[in-house]
Amino acid sequence: MKVIIETIITLVENDQLNSTLTRATKLAENKVKDEYVSFVLDTEEIFGIAKSGGLEEANTAIDKVLNKYSGEIKSKLSKTINN
């Protein structure tokens, strides 16, 4: 078997967040199992960090989110392969 890892980056207005996160998506046909991971990055918060602390602090905040995302993907991948 093979594992396909796909990522979609969606920029959405604040008032559309919930409806966008709960949208119906087409998952793969002929699959054994689908797992998904969603994270929300608040651009207003990142811009605020950049304005108050500079780009380095904003990049550090983005890195924290991406590290959590990476950890969650690794966990889901391990569970998918081992089940």
Establish if 34 belongs to a structural domain. no
Residue 9 included in any domain: no
Task: Summarize pLDDT for 47-83 with one digit per residue, the tens.
Answer: 999 999 999 999 999 999 889 889 988 988 888 788 7
Tokens (6 digits) for 9? 């980056």
Instruction: Confirm whether 33 is domain-assigned.
Output: no
If you write DSSP's letter for every residue of 15-28 in order, what string do you get?
GGHHHHHT----PP
Q: How many structural domains is the chain composed of?
A: 1
In a domain, 80, yes or no: yes
pLDDT tens-digit profile of 10-33? 778 888 888 877 777 666 566 666
Q: Is 39 in contact with 21 (CB distance < 8 Å)?
A: no
pTM over the 0.75 mark: no
Asked if 62 and 41 count as a contact pair (C-beta separation under 8 A), the reply is yes
Question: Residue 47's domain spans which residues?
Answer: 41-83
